[in-house]
Amino acid sequence: MPDALAALPTATPVAAAPGPLPQMPWALLAAACLGMFAASASGTTRAPFLLDMARDLTANLSMVANLMAMTSIAWGASSLMAGAGSDRWGRRPFLIGGPVGLALCMIGVAASGSYLGVAIWATIAGGFAGSFTGVVMAEASARVIDRQRGRALGWVMSGQSLTLLIGVPLAAWIGAHIGWRGVNLCVAAIALAAALGLLLTTLRPVDRPRAAGASRPSYRAAMTGPVIRLLAMGVAERICYGLTAVYFATFLQSTYGLSLGAVALPLATFALGSILGTILGGQLADRLPNRLMTFALAMFGSAAIALALFGWTAGVGVSVALGFAYVFVNALARPSLMAALANVPDEVRGTVLGLNVTSASFGWLGAASLGGWMMAEFGFAGFGPLAGGIGVLGGALALVGRR
């Protein structure tokens, strides 16, 4: 394995070479964004139909809600294996096979007549989603130079936020006409469209020369100190984001007595903040001199806003504005982190970014469990200190990395 892994710059400075930048691979980025949208939609678009699914499948509500946990576990496990596999056998089998497998599983979910059938197909779908989400970020980062990776990965990741802004409301509207099974068939069609787009935009392989006698990539080679620190920062960032993404609607409902329909606009505002923060964060990651400092400042800023968000309940408008500000500032951090993670030798990039998706799934599970415990023990008043403390921890890890 090249010695470059051991010499990975922990501060990940952005290259400042003069001259015009090459053209961004916009078609590939659009296909990758669509793939991320489909992967995220395969789980999140179930949210409006939990009651309908429970009634249709003769299952209780908690059982249907637990489908998300099954999906998340399978997603993280498969990403761990697919990332390393893409470094050994190439990325195209995962980039194309993952969305196709996801589409077939969505068809299986739609056709299942029992809860067990839906649970099996949904879990396998999570595995296929995880098999290409880390790999597609590795492919996107391999096709641009370092000064473009923040923006490229920001556009790819925006597919997840678009699911909240567009996918879930659109699924609810479509589902009113064709039901939750029909929505799953629509997600399958989107996944197939993403697979076709990735097939056409990756016809030209990335030049990945391997030195004579170089060993094959391995987890041990990829898990250097700087990479472990970056992965820990990613877990902290996902917990901070997930605490609000999962519980923001419940916070508004319990604090202000809002109905489910009344939180639709606040949730759309929240999703818009995530998209705008991710896009601007990509610009900052490529233009500011140090990505880890950008990450640290964004985490410290979101920690401060978290205290106000859950501690100052002066009205619905104030809380929605603070929610927008929180997720916007938090989203500024992720492109810098992803660009830093991509700044490894190409032969282990898939492994590292696959590990990132796996660690992110742990962050989501941590947000759900910590948030549930905090709500039961202290109520939403404890969310601010919790999110603030984890945000400060993530920012501190970034500053340690700079040294």
CATH number of 281's domain: 1.20.1250.20
Number of domains in the chain: 2
* 3-state DSSP assignment of residue 111: helix
Query: Do 278 and 306 belong together in one domain?
Result: yes
Q: Which residue, 350, 287, 281, 346, is CA-closest to 21? A: 287
Q: pLDDT truncated to tens, each residue of the chain (403 aa)?
A: 444 444 444 445 554 445 577 788 999 999 999 999 999 899 888 877 877 888 888 888 778 877 877 888 888 888 888 887 888 888 899 999 999 999 999 999 999 989 999 999 999 999 999 899 889 988 988 888 888 888 888 889 888 878 877 887 788 788 888 988 999 999 999 999 999 999 999 988 765 544 444 455 555 655 667 888 888 999 999 899 888 877 887 788 888 988 767 777 888 888 899 889 999 999 998 888 888 999 999 999 999 999 999 999 889 999 999 999 999 999 999 999 988 888 877 777 877 888 888 888 788 778 877 887 887 788 888 999 999 999 999 999 999 865 4
Tell which of 142, 173, 201 closes a domain. Answer: 201
Cα–Cα dist 340/226, whole Å: 10
Q: Residue 148: inside a domain, yes or no?
A: yes
Query: Do 376 and 232 belong together in one domain?
Result: yes
Residues in a beta bridge with 13:
290
Query: Do 189 and 236 belong together in one domain?
Result: no
Query: Do 255 and 173 belong together in one domain?
Result: no
Torsion region of 288: left, alpha or beta (phi above 0 gives left; psi -120 to 50 gives alpha): beta
pTM: 0.77
Query: Do 184 and 226 belong together in one domain?
Result: no
Query: Do 186 and 245 belong together in one domain?
Result: no
Q: Residue 338: inside a domain, yes or no?
A: yes
Tell which of 201, 235, 251 closes a domain. Answer: 201
Q: Residue 212: inside a domain, yes or no?
A: no
Q: Residue 209: inside a domain, yes or no?
A: no
Q: Residue 15: inside a domain, yes or no?
A: no
Q: Residue 111: inside a domain, yes or no?
A: yes
Query: Do 236 and 157 belong together in one domain?
Result: no
Is the separation of the CB atoms in 135 and 320 below 8 Å? no
Cα–Cα dist 301/128, whole Å: 35
Is the separation of the CB atoms in 390 and 266 below 8 Å? no
Query: Do 249 and 327 belong together in one domain?
Result: yes
Q: Residue 11: inside a domain, yes or no?
A: no
Distances (CA, A) of 258 to 52, 248, 249, 262, 299: 22, 12, 9, 6, 30
Tell which of 201, 231, 252 closes a domain. Answer: 201
Query: Do 194 and 256 belong together in one domain?
Result: no
Query: Do 266 and 387 belong together in one domain?
Result: yes
Q: Residue 137: inside a domain, yes or no?
A: yes
Query: Do 95 and 159 belong together in one domain?
Result: yes
Cα–Cα dist 105/121, whole Å: 5
* 3-state DSSP assignment of residue 234: helix
Query: Do 161 and 271 belong together in one domain?
Result: no
| Domain coverage including residue 244 | 220-402
